[in-house]
Chain A
Amino acid sequence: MPGAPIHTRGPRGISKRGGIQAEAAAGFLEPLGAERVLSSDARRAIETAEIIAGSRPVEVVPRLAGLHLGEWEGLSLEQMPELPDVLSDPERRPPSGESLVDVLERARPALEDALSSHGDAIDVSHRMTNAVLLAEIMALPLTAAGAIQQDPGGINVIERRGRGPTVAMLNVSPLDPLRLESTVATLV
């Protein structure tokens, strides 16, 4: 049986479980009192951001979108055997899609904008986009981004201080912080 189709930019919204994860993220982030909530333009990110934002406006930032699979969009993993090559070669693009370097270059200005906010800001984005940005901040090679887990509703905290940003928390899942129910995403 072929696997489920992978959409990094598809129209699907969040599931009921996703809504519970977003509520938990909202509760976790509440003490920050962040002024800005930014979201990728994907429906599932906007829905998540709206739950977190409450009465605050959500700023939609297309630069925070997920890795664009181009012509592979909507295929199952079995139908894109070259996907691991894209994740192990930072310059390699799927046909009409994005490489890891492309993702970094277009998403980095959005992160810099959020970090230069007057107060705290919350970005709602996607697994590989986050992982690439986190790898960059930690000075890891982009090909190591895949080792950084990003669970649905997981929270990273990036602090701007001293000489550039530092990672203060990475992939905290408020509903399962000790990761007893989690799995490892080994590809996308």
Chain B
Amino acid sequence: MAAPIERRLYLLRHAEAPNVTADGRLVSSGASPVSERGRAQADALGARFSEVDFGTVHASDMPRAAETAKRLAGDRGVELHEELREISLGDLDGALAEEVFSTAPRFLSDPAASLPGGESPLEVRDRAGPLLERVLAEEGGRDVVVVAHGGVNRVLIGSLLGLGLERALRLRQDWASVNVLEHAGGRWWVGCLNWTPWGLEEFDHTRRVTALSEEHWLRMGR
């Protein structure tokens, strides 16, 4: 039985902004800018989203998400929200990846575990979830575009799907990727996860570029 889609929630990860320095330090706070390649990715998203009927792009106020949102929005508005910021690494922001995970081995496998001075996935859910609800309400019945981060997106998708957060943290979220959640008949359906405008063309590239951080998350965090 097919039902029309009443509204779509497009949940995006920001464009390429390497978050691991050459010497292996994890950077989650403001600093990491969108790369030149990332700017091209955001422009490619903008071309695709020109067909979508939405009002304002809602984005994290961290520079990599805000810049992605501005390029995607074209002449439409952008509203920035601190509630959509990436999970905080706290005192360990800028530390070596090994140090991050040896300090709190359960970080990102136990939804309640956080780093010293940082946040747990549950805390991210409790700040980003209500913001998303508010944005959906404010936008009336229109489609909604949100640009956030890998960690935030995994948590939000997990909440909407009723997926255990420890499982949701395993979903792949590439740079400039699009998740489509759709509302019909009073509930949410999973339309699509982790699509990018270049499909599988740059899939391995993305994996190589993020390999350091992703593999650390995988090896140390699970």
Contacts A162-B219, A186-B184: A178 and B199 contacting too (C-beta < 8 A)?
Answer: no
Q: Is there an interface contact between A138 and B167, defined as CB atoms closer than 8 Å?
A: yes
Contacts of B163 in A (CB 8 A): 138-140
Contact A31 B201 (CB under 8 A): yes
Q: Which residues of chain B have C-beta atoms less than 8 A from A132's C-beta? A: none
Residues on A with beta carbons closer than 8 Å to the beta carbon of B222: 162-163
Q: Given the complex, which residues of B lie within 8 Å of A179, measured CB to CB?
A: 5, 8, 180, 182, 191-192
Q: Which A residue's beta carbon lies closest to that of B10? A: A178
- B49 and A147 contacting across the interface, CB-CB below 8 Å: no
Q: Is A1 an interface residue (CB 8 A)?
A: no
Contact A184 B180 (CB under 8 A): no
Task: Give chain B residues whose Cβ lies under 8 Å from the Cβ of A114.
Answer: none
Known: A28-B199, A28-B200, A178-B48. A161 touches B1 (CB 8 A): no
Partner of B193, one of A147, A159, A170, A174: A170
Q: How far is the CB of B207 from chain A (nearest CB, A)?
A: 9
Q: Are B195 and A172 in contact (CB under 8 A)?
A: yes
Q: Is A148 an interface residue (CB 8 A)?
A: yes
A residues 59-82 near B (Cβ < 8 Å) are 77
With contact pairs A178-B10, A185-B1, A186-B185 given, residues A147 and B190 touching in the complex (Cβ less than 8 Å):
yes
User: Which residues of the partner chain A approach B10 to less than 8 Å between Cβ atoms?
Assistant: 178
B178 in contact (CB, < 8 A): yes
For A169, the chain B residues whose CB sits under 8 A away are 172, 193-195
A167 — which chain B residues lie within 8 A by C-beta? 171-172, 193
Inter-chain contacts of A171 with B (CB < 8 A): 190-193
8 A Cβ contacts from A128-178 to B: 138-140, 144, 147-149, 154, 157, 159, 161-163, 166-174, 177-178
Contact yes or no, B200 A166, CB < 8 A = no
Task: Quote the shortest CB–CB distance from A110 to chain B (angstroms).
Answer: 22
Interface centre among A28, A173, A180 (most CB of B within 10 A): A180
Contacts of B167 on A, CB cut-off 8 Å?
Answer: 138-139
CB of B106 within 8 Å of the partner chain? no
Q: For residue A180, which residue of chain B has the nearest CB?
A: B51
Q: In the complex, what residues of A have CB within 8 A of residue B188's CB?
A: 147
27 contacts between A and B (CB under 8 A): A28-B200, A31-B199, A77-B1, A139-B167, A140-B163, A147-B161, A148-B189, A149-B189, A149-B192, A157-B200, A157-B203, A162-B219, A167-B172, A168-B172, A169-B194, A170-B190, A171-B190, A177-B178, A177-B192, A179-B8, A179-B191, A180-B52, A182-B182, A182-B191, A183-B2, A183-B4, A188-B1
Residues of B within 8 A of A (CB): 1-5, 8, 10, 48-49, 51-52, 161-164, 167, 170-172, 178, 180, 182, 184-185, 187-195, 197, 199-201, 203, 218-219, 222
Please give me the 10 A-B residue pairs with the lowest Cβ-Cβ distance, nearest first.
A170-B193, A183-B2, A184-B184, A168-B172, A187-B1, A162-B218, A139-B167, A31-B200, A172-B195, A169-B194
Contacts A183-B2, A185-B1 aside, 19 further interface pairs with beta carbons under 8 A come to A30-B200, A140-B161, A147-B161, A147-B190, A148-B189, A149-B189, A154-B192, A159-B172, A169-B195, A171-B190, A171-B192, A172-B199, A177-B48, A178-B49, A179-B5, A179-B191, A182-B191, A184-B189, A187-B1
